[in-house]
Structure 1
Amino acid sequence: MSRLRLLSAAALLAVATSVSATSFVYTTDATVGALKGTSDATSDVTSSFSDDKVVLAARDDAASFVASDGSVRGARLEAALQHIRGKLPQLAASDMQLARAILTL
């Protein structure tokens, strides 16, 4: 009887370990995918707009936007976001991602 319990416990442990590892892999893949999207957006913006006057003028507004977690939206930031999306319509980035990219310029 004790062998049966021991085998059952070992089987349960093996199943739990594989489920945990699979969950870790899915979580890691999702996190890496999200970071890659942020990195791609930052790369596209910084390479395309490093000397753009509209975007550079929005740095202070972008800093306020990021610091307030999106609560403070200045007019220069709004203009820069529209300008960037007009130039790169295929760019799928949030306002926060773009504001952070502006700060890296």
Structure 2
Amino acid sequence: MSDLIIVAHVTAKPGHETALVAAQKQLVDIVRKQPGCILYDLHESEQQAGDVIFFERWADRTAWENHMNGAHMDAFRAQAGHLIGSFELSQMRQIA
């Protein structure tokens, strides 16, 4: 399998949970239409508002890099990047 799996864990700065999650939700429909996007899901913790996981599957690394360098991501970073308290990104491949 050559698909690239991305797991991004994002936590909002205190007091900015609602605004960050709203901005992240706006990305979902846009990104799902990107070439090479197989799956792009956003999940929020039931225990902590503003603690989210993006689970993504891309056809290949190039498709993901195009997404990350796209105008929609530039707009997101300009609008909501300052609301992010922490960010962790895992790049994975499915093995079973």
Give TM-score scaled by structure 2 length. 0.34
The higher-RCO structure (CA 8 Å, 6+ apart) is 2
- Whichever of the two has the greater Rg, that structure is 1
Higher strand share: 2
TM-score normalised per structure 1: 0.32
